[in-house]
Amino acid sequence: MIQMIYPDRPLMAELMAKMLWEIGAVHFNAEQPYKLASGMVSPVYIDCRKLLSYPRVRSAVMDFAASAITRDAGFEAFDCIAGGETAGIPFAALLADRLGLPMIYVRKKPKGHGRNAQIEGNLPDGARVLVIEDLTTAGGSMFTFIDAIRAAGGRVDHGMALFFYGIFPEAHTRFTNGGVKLHHIATWREVLAVAREQSLFDARTLSEVESFLDAPLAWSAKNGGVGELPTA
């Protein structure tokens, strides 16, 4: 039996932010910033894959994802759920189960042997596909998967990121130009709000994090990182 819950969006965002802190998935360090794959440096780091190791947290987050997507996109809007390699794959399986839908997964590139497949699973021509990832910064990696599905005959009008950075204006432009509506549960703003509410860090660290969220590329360049938009 498929069951749905519909908490208020702000409540879902706040609860997910609290859960991320509770399981140790979030880190703030303004003194020794984290270097990201893009070359940016950041005082914040998040590991959404840890959600998988906590069944109660994992279940609640997938309830929120199902709520967000059915409320905003519709109850019969999709024919299957697609997960991107690698972090999106388990979340796609969980969400597909929640929604009673088939699931596929998409590689970053064809595997290079056998059938040389990039998409694993059954993708009927014209199928309406929801692509899910654990997080997205500016949408680059998600569009790698979206483009592959579209090239294979699928239709992608919606994407789901459990966590959205929400700090790069270019991300909104990318999704708009790509014809995809992005759905998400929480952003860095909610995570910072919980850190302030619970006094998890000193005032200077919280201020530096807020400065980064207000101008991430400028903060990166100022602190020894690149000042260009990341692609992931």
According to the model, what pLDDT value does residue 98 have? 95
State which fold the 9-222 domain adopts. Answer: Rossmann fold (3.40.50)
More confidently predicted of 114 and 20: 20
- CA–CA gap between residue 217 and residue 144 (Å, rounded): 23
According to the model, what pLDDT value does residue 228 have? 73
Q: Residue ranges per domain, the chain?
A: 9-222
Amino acid letter, residue 207: S
What is the DSSP track for 122-135? ---TT-EEEEEEEE
Whether residue 7 is predicted with pLDDT greater than 60 in this model: the reply is yes
pLDDT in tens, 56-76: 999 999 999 999 999 999 999
Whether residue 177 is predicted with pLDDT greater than 50 in this model: the reply is yes
Confidence of residue 182 (pLDDT cuts 50, 70, 90): very high
Q: What is the pTM of this model?
A: 0.92
Strand residues in 99-216 grouped as ranges (E): 103-106, 119-120, 128-136, 155-164, 181-187
pLDDT in tens, 193-221: 999 999 999 999 999 999 999 999 999 99
Mean pLDDT score across all residues of the chain: 92
